[in-house]
Structure 1
Amino acid sequence: MTSAPVRNPATTRLATTRRYLMCAPTHFAVEYSINPWMDPTRPVSTAGAIAEWEALRQTYLRLGHTVETIDPQPGLPDMVFSANSGTVIDGVVLGARFRAPQRAAEADFFRTWFLDHGYRDIVMPEKINEAEGDLTWTGDLLLAGTGFRTDPGAHAEAQEVLGVPVVSLQLVDPRYYHLDVALFVLTEATPTSRAHIAYYPEAFSPGTQRLLRRLYPDAILATAEDAACLGLNAISDGRNVILPKEATTLTTQLHAHGYTPHPVNITELRKSGGGPKCCTMELRDRT
């Protein structure tokens, strides 16, 4: 399976300013294993993770984006992965409810951050819901992953709380335990054009693959090698794409489609199964 041909290589991609919430990996460690990437016996450099995180933050700032931060908490080594703790659309916040008990306490720290920063429309889910880890906003649809973490019942809950249409996607490969390590949005939908996405087909069930082909026939399809370095755990502002430096084939495809890739190092963060997107919650306030 190959990506659709580039329809217009000269397409001018337009960046839009974003606002992100991040958490420094001050207490980063791999002390338990809740996904196939985590090996507590493998050495981890907290200082290295902090350097990677700071380089990512500086990349966002250099590109003109706003970065808010939440204070890291001792005993929560995965709190750096802020994307898992909230989904914000039009100023409405759907919080998180983690499947793994080791991460459960993170959700309330993020709820408090939202309250302290003026958000009032906040709902904490009843179903297991790992937020932007499994919920991806495309501009007109909320793509919702399930299979390993987020409960399928959380998809209906997200639709009710956020007031947007939800499309359920079935993940089948445990290495790609969240939607955000198998798919990301390059350009959001507009009233006259569909979203442009990239994804790794084999991470999904056959029916979901057919659905994605129907919804996004011009998607960029990642190789197994690019998926295996968490190359799809990426962030795009519509033009600039921040992704792991090892995702070289994906980088070449992005260039061909008119995007500007910004490869970053996630050597330490990847040891916990995370990358640029995992470290980045987008704050989509009311416009």
Structure 2
Amino acid sequence: MDKRQARPRHYLMCEPTFFEVSYSINPWMNPSCPTSTERGLAQWMTLHDLLVGLEHAVELIEPVAGLPDMVYSANGATVVDGRALVARFRHEERVKESPAYLDWFRARGWEARQAESINEGEGDFLCTGDVVLAGTGFRSEPKAHDEAAEYFGKPVLGLTLIDDRYYHLDTALAVLDDNEIMYHPEAFSPESRMLLEERFPDAILADAHDAAVFGLNAVSDGLHVILAQQAERLPCQLRERGFEPIGVDMTELLKGGGGAKCCTMELREGD
């Protein structure tokens, strides 16, 4: 096996200045369970500094008061070849995030528009080397897949999620390199599981424990894989494939239903 190489990435993050769990729109959110904005900020800062230390470019979008989930910046848009398709959120609590992301992109000269269908950004749209993997079942609509395919000019492979703990695709599947992924089979419908098995026969499969600690909500640069430090088997599985896993503690932000990947939107400029 050739030695893997890290490739410089460009990310957008949002500081969790206003992070709290004051409502519930996924099974991880329990408003009666205390949250610490200070602890969430410290965990987020560790992730931010790690990405910078790995020599990736990290930009910031200004957090907006009253939008505690804005820290999960991956949900704000999908960016491919310099074009941003900004999210149209399913839940009212997150709807006002979209204008903030649209303004951010346009102010910096990106080609950007808001999706017409319910589309929750990189939460449900993950780019591999030659296809966009797109989730549905709980958030993004199936017709959002067609819209993304037309906008980006790339084939989109639709996948159906069936376990509401894994309400976004990026909670059940991670892209490791061009055509390499890891995923939790039980999160997907039988038809989608078959599609994944056919297209990615050598994928890393995560067990129930590692999926439940959000081990698949991971960020990879082709060499380093940043994932929940609570994952037990995935780090060994990754090392066997030549990756370098790096554990981070995101347990406070997991109270809102997000981990390392949820907090990082990749900005793909294209050629």
TM-score of the aligned structures, taking structure 1 as reference length: 0.93
* 1:260 paired residue among 237, 244, 247: 244
Report the identity percentage. 54
Instruction: Answer yes or no: is 1:29 the counterpart of 2:20.
Output: yes
Instruction: Answer yes or no: is 1:208 the counterpart of 2:215.
Output: no
* 1:226 paired residue among 202, 210, 213: 210
Number of residue pairs matched by the alignment: 271
1:188-214 CA deviation, whole Å, 9 max, x = no partner? 1xxxxxx01000000000011111000
CA–CA separation in structure 2 for the residues paired with 1:242 and 1:228: 16
Which structure 1 residue ranges, 5 or more long, are not aligned? 1-9, 189-194
Superposed counterparts of 1:178-189, under 5 Å = 178-188=168-178
1:269 match: 253
Instruction: Answer yes or no: is 1:41 the counterpart of 2:36.
Output: no
CA–CA separation in structure 2 for the residues paired with 1:132 and 1:252: 26
Instruction: Answer yes or no: is 1:165 the counterpart of 2:155.
Output: yes
Instruction: Answer yes or no: is 1:53 the counterpart of 2:36.
Output: no
Q: What is the deviation of 1:286?
A: 2.5
CA–CA separation in structure 2 for the residues paired with 1:224 and 1:248: 11
CA–CA separation in structure 2 for the residues paired with 1:72 and 1:87: 19
* 2:122 paired residue among 124, 132, 135: 132
1:76 match: 67
Instruction: Answer yes or no: is 1:242 the counterpart of 2:229.
Output: no
Give the match's secondary structure for 2:12: strand
CA–CA separation in structure 1 for the residues paired with 2:254 and 2:80: 27
Give the match's secondary structure for 1:122: strand
Instruction: Answer yes or no: is 1:13 the counterpart of 2:34.
Output: no
CA–CA separation in structure 2 for the residues paired with 1:124 and 1:162: 13
* 1:89 paired residue among 50, 64, 80: 80
CA–CA separation in structure 2 for the residues paired with 1:206 and 1:115: 40
Which residue type is aligned with residue 86 of structure 1? A
Detail structure 1 runs of 4+ shifted over 4 Å in the superposition: none
Cα RMSD (Å) of the superposition?
A: 0.7
CA–CA separation in structure 2 for the residues paired with 1:225 and 1:134: 22
1:286 match: 270
1:86·1:93 contact (CA, 8 Å) conserved in 2? yes
Give the match's secondary structure for 2:251: coil
CA–CA separation in structure 1 for the residues paired with 2:56 and 2:129: 18
